Chains A and B, each alone.
Chain A
Amino acid sequence: MNVQKFVDAVYAEAQKSGADEFQIEYAYADRQRLELFEGKIEKQSATEDQSLSLAVKKDGKVGYCCSGNFDEATIPEIVKSAMENARLIGEGEENFFYDGKGEYVKAESYRPLPGRLSALNPVAFMQEIEKRAYAADKRITQVQKVVFSQGKNRRIMRNSLGLDLSREDESAGCSVMVTAEDGNCKEWGYKGVAFDKEEDFDAAFIAGKATEDALSRLNGIKPESGMTEVVFENKCFTDILAFLEGIASALNIQKQKSQFAGKIGQLVAAPIVTITDDSLLKGGYATTSFDGEGVPTRKKDIIAGGVLQTYLHSLKTAHKDGVAPTGNGAGWNGAVETMNLYLQPGNVSKQELLEQVKDGVYIDRLNGLHAGFHMVSGDFSFGARGYLIEGGKITRPLVQFTVAGNYYQLLKDIKMIADDLEFRTSGFGSPTVWVDGLTIGGK
């Protein structure tokens, strides 16, 4: 049975099931991946992935079954499981489907530069990156691996209320990780690209960034412990910004897991802070004209001039709060997600910002993010890497230290924002940010 027939058969079975409403989503992904080690391709994969998700609504409650099993004999089980799950849901947990009648804005999302990838020989390109990385400096002792990947995704969503949407996108990327050694000191460096900029097709550029990253970290010292001025590199600050997805989630607020509860219209961040979720950003990595529930998306400020403007809503949470959905539904039980979330840039250059900081710590890598962050209390403590800032300049590398504070306070302690907004392929973007009042744990 081909996939189209399978989807139709699930649709027909759902119609017979006694569900009041139902929705089917089908996702398809096709990927190729190459991994190079010591001049040769070591791993190669070509994969095709499909999944189907059925949501049924009975008496206002929604149950799900997600299936990657395309055996025809499974169809009754898929429908039966979803119905059983709907019946288990407790009172007051009403959920909704969308009828697709809203206005969808055509959005141009990220894609690799057209025509360029087909002209690229991936293996030769990866070999060139490896060669250039080794040639960059004799302290580069290993190119751990070079990875190249390319893929296509297709998604279809339709429901019994008339929603009928589809989306196709493609992606590609290349990354390299290198080891640098000097005496007993060993460090790693990394660079990844998404082939949406001209420089991403330049092997020397990629190798140069990765080797520079590793070499600049050799022979680091531990910083002094204590409170100090902290500057976050632009891309690194997106790790911090990403927590806003949970904190501004109406679902978490309704579950009393975020301190943003009851704070709309209030100052929750420094007045220089404006944080925007732009689902329609041209070329954005998370750009989409509809969310995971099929609701049209739009651009909105979550925080403007330090004041909380809105929570992120799905159909379920919006109904509970008596407001309109914001186009942030993730498509699963009221959960929400941000699209292209970014901190609006300021108007000083990174260099000017560092000059004003004079002395402090510059952080460009954070780790232990998930375990180190407590959304309820806002307390966080992360492992960090970076450099000393001395006399307004980035100087010595710093190793093995922690940075700790409270998230809700950090938003208020943002002292200055540079003009160098940059996005990660995750869809989060930020300029360089200077924060006051964080504790560094080192020596």
Chain B
Amino acid sequence: MLDKKLVAEILDEALSTGGDFAEVFAEDSKTKNLLVGNGKVESAGTNLLRGVGIRVFKGMFQTYAYTNLLDRENLLKTADKAAAAIAGKSEKRIIDLVDVAFEDKHKIRKSPFELERSREAEIYCGVAEHMAAASSLVLRTDISGAYKSRKILVANSDGVWAEDEQNRMRIVMSAVVGRDNLTEQAGESNIGGLIGAEIFDLYNLEEIAEDVVRRAVNKLDAGDCPTGVMPVIIGNEFGGVIFHEACGHSLEATSVAPGTSEFSGKLGQRIASELVTAVDDATIPNAWGSINIDDEGTPTQRKVLIENGVLKNYMVDKFGGRRMGMSSNGASRRENYKFIPTSRMSNTLILNGKSTEEEIIAATPHGLYAKKMGGGSVHPTTGEFNFSVDEAYLIENGKIGTQVKGAKLVGHGADILPNIDMVGNNMAYACGMCGSISGSIPTTVGQPTIRVKELTVGGQK
């Protein structure tokens, strides 16, 4: 993207006013997407992005400037803009940029850019036909596919030169069904990864599509969810969003470093039930939230966040780490060059326990079984979270009972963790998009089925 000599010159310019660290981040990405609505291509788009962000640190001060005009003159001007806010004298040093060595753990097998898009459209149209045929109640189907290739280069005044290419592909589908005056919708967004066109060999799209229709139809018969405090069993896979929101965000340096997080200063302390061991692992081969190096050029790692209930680690980036007295653990990410990178999650999972899902349900006289979670959010200051449940059932006498709709779970992250009293052995993970101050990034959530002793459930009844 840029040559080493020019980058060294930019770094030098960025440090000209006395900064103690400078970084150049260059990105060149290409995204293609297709939307098939009711079996017809309704929209097709291409998005090209290329730009450079320049960052300078001086102690606990950071400045940032970016541009997408990449000629030498403009890049140096951008470096000056970043440097301008620091009014000091340059301490000249020689920057020797050396390639960071890392193993590519996420090789793709087939480039999606080599797949004919008309062929891709045919596949989605075929799946749409299958969906429409699955039930006479289907009113509308949507299938969208997107792939993105993202080339990044990170170089900094510590001599780091790191380049990587991230290829991601994802397919999302949904169905609207109706009967009498009722309409419902269900979807599936868990088809994706740091993978290429092999996605079509790895997943049986028709089977998944049928399941989407079945779930939408079942919702038509669901009753209103009761309201109140009760035991809640949270299913595996996307159920992990609860840990991501209720706990994960509060373990990011962004809120830990300034002391805002409820988990600030609690390393080594018991914060969760001893049944809980959780990791953030960016190294899982080809997983949706995986990356070889982070957006500061640091190779990623598997971080044990909580071990048997005890807080062990945080997500740390370079700048947050300065305030915390910790070094980066490869957790710094950004949507693109327009954002200042900061500590974020990758693949965040609660690891397996010993119970089977059947045992957990049988051990629960009454409560809510949140089989499929929807999205949620958290406020890191108070740790207060909220989640929607997409597919929920009442538990009656240790058995799965009536399906209910419109369930919402609310509570405090710090309260839920000690209250996890059963952990299953069926860990699975799912794709998601996580939004925060450095933009929207792909992350994986995951867990086995777990039980929370009590949670506030908000429904319409």
Which residues from B are CB-within-8-Å of A403?
458
Whether B406 lies near A85 (C-beta < 8 A) is no
Per-position binary interface string of chain A over residues 396-410, scored 1 when its CB falls under 8 Å from any chain B CB and 0 otherwise:
000111111110000
Whether B184 lies near A441 (C-beta < 8 A) is no
Whether A383 lies near B40 (C-beta < 8 A) is no
CB of A257, distance to nearest CB on chain B (Å)? 6
Query: Which residue on A lies nearest to B435, using beta carbons?
Result: A370
CB of B300, distance to nearest CB on chain A (Å)? 24
Q: A44-B63, A186-B381 are in contact. Are A85 and B386 (CB under 8 A)?
A: no
Whether A68 lies near B50 (C-beta < 8 A) is yes
Whether B227 lies near A439 (C-beta < 8 A) is yes
Whether B459 lies near A404 (C-beta < 8 A) is yes
Q: Which of A178-218 contact B (CB under 8 A)?
A: 179, 186-188
Per-position binary interface string of chain A over residues 129-172, scored 1 when its CB falls under 8 Å from any chain B CB and 0 otherwise:
00000000000001011000000000000000000000000000
A91 within 8 A of B: yes
Whether B381 lies near A65 (C-beta < 8 A) is no
Q: Which of A374-410 contact B (CB under 8 A)?
A: 374-377, 379-383, 399-406
Q: Which of B56-87 contact A (CB under 8 A)?
A: 60-70, 78, 81-82, 84-85
Whether A93 lies near B460 (C-beta < 8 A) is no
Which residues from A are CB-within-8-Å of B382?
186-188
Interface stretch of the complex, out of B192-200, B256-264, B285-293: B256-264
Query: Which residue on B lies nearest to A78, using beta carbons?
Result: B48
Whether A255 lies near B140 (C-beta < 8 A) is yes
Whether A69 lies near B50 (C-beta < 8 A) is yes
B98 within 8 A of A: no
Partner of A69, one of B28, B63, B67: B28
The size bracket of the interface on B is 35 or more
Per-position binary interface string of chain B over residues 384-397, scored 1 when its CB falls under 8 Å from any chain A CB and 0 otherwise:
11111000000000
Which residues from B are CB-within-8-Å of A367?
377, 379, 386
Interface stretch of the complex, out of B203-211, B271-279, B306-314, B408-416: B408-416
Which residues from B are CB-within-8-Å of A144?
258, 260, 381
Whether A383 lies near B384 (C-beta < 8 A) is yes
Which residues from A are CB-within-8-Å of B225?
381
Q: Which of A33-84 contact B (CB under 8 A)?
A: 37, 40-50, 63-71, 74, 77-78, 81-82, 84
Whether A69 lies near B49 (C-beta < 8 A) is yes
B41 within 8 A of A: yes
Whether B185 lies near A377 (C-beta < 8 A) is yes
Partner of B456, one of A81, A370, A442: A442
Which residues from A are CB-within-8-Å of B219?
377
Tell me which of B44, B45, B338, B340 has the highest count of chain A C-beta atoms within 10 A of its own C-beta: B44
Q: Which of A256-305 contact B (CB under 8 A)?
A: 256-257, 259
Whether A439 lies near B458 (C-beta < 8 A) is yes
Partner of A188, one of B178, B375, B379, B459: B379
Whether B50 lies near A400 (C-beta < 8 A) is no
Q: A45-B63, A404-B459 are in contact. Are A372 and B386 (CB under 8 A)?
A: yes
A177 to B51, alpha carbons, bound, how many Å? 31
Which residues from B are CB-within-8-Å of A46?
63-65, 81-82, 84
CB of A415, distance to nearest CB on chain B (Å)? 18
A375 to B367, alpha carbons, bound, how many Å? 27
CB of A55, distance to nearest CB on chain B (Å)? 10
A371 within 8 A of B: yes
Which residues from A are CB-within-8-Å of B387?
368, 371
Which residues from A are CB-within-8-Å of B41?
88-90, 93
CB of A279, distance to nearest CB on chain B (Å)? 25
Which residues from B are CB-within-8-Å of A380?
406
A44 to B42, alpha carbons, bound, how many Å? 42
A371 to B433, alpha carbons, bound, how many Å? 13
Which residues from B are CB-within-8-Å of A93?
40-42
B374 within 8 A of A: yes
Which residues from B are CB-within-8-Å of A48?
65-68, 78
Which residues from B are CB-within-8-Å of A377?
182-185, 219, 405
A91 to B374, alpha carbons, bound, how many Å? 34
Query: Which residue on A lies nearest to B336, using beta carbons?
Result: A68
Query: Which residue on A lies nearest to B39, using beta carbons?
Result: A90
Whether B262 lies near A257 (C-beta < 8 A) is no
B139 within 8 A of A: yes
Q: A70-B50, A255-B140 are in contact. Are A44 and B64 (CB under 8 A)?
A: yes
A381 to B50, alpha carbons, bound, how many Å? 40
CB of B30, distance to nearest CB on chain A (Å)? 9
Tell me which of B45, B142, B340 has the highest count of chain A C-beta atoms within 10 A of its own C-beta: B45
Which residues from B are CB-within-8-Å of A3?
69
Whether A381 lies near B377 (C-beta < 8 A) is no
A412 within 8 A of B: no
Whether B48 lies near A67 (C-beta < 8 A) is yes
A74 to B48, alpha carbons, bound, how many Å? 9
Whether B64 lies near A45 (C-beta < 8 A) is yes
Tell me which of A69, A77, A86, A381 has the highest count of chain B C-beta atoms within 10 A of its own C-beta: A381
Whether B460 lies near A65 (C-beta < 8 A) is no
Whether B51 lies near A68 (C-beta < 8 A) is yes
A89 to B128, alpha carbons, bound, how many Å? 15
Tell me which of A93, A144, A188, A402 has the highest count of chain B C-beta atoms within 10 A of its own C-beta: A402
Which residues from B are CB-within-8-Å of A86?
44
18 residue pairs bridging A and B, Cβ less than 8 Å apart: A42-B62, A48-B66, A48-B78, A64-B43, A66-B48, A70-B70, A77-B48, A85-B44, A86-B44, A90-B36, A144-B258, A186-B382, A225-B458, A259-B183, A367-B386, A383-B384, A404-B227, A443-B228
The 8 A-B residue pairs whose C-beta atoms are closest, nearest first, are A402-B458, A441-B458, A383-B386, A371-B375, A90-B40, A381-B408, A85-B44, A69-B50
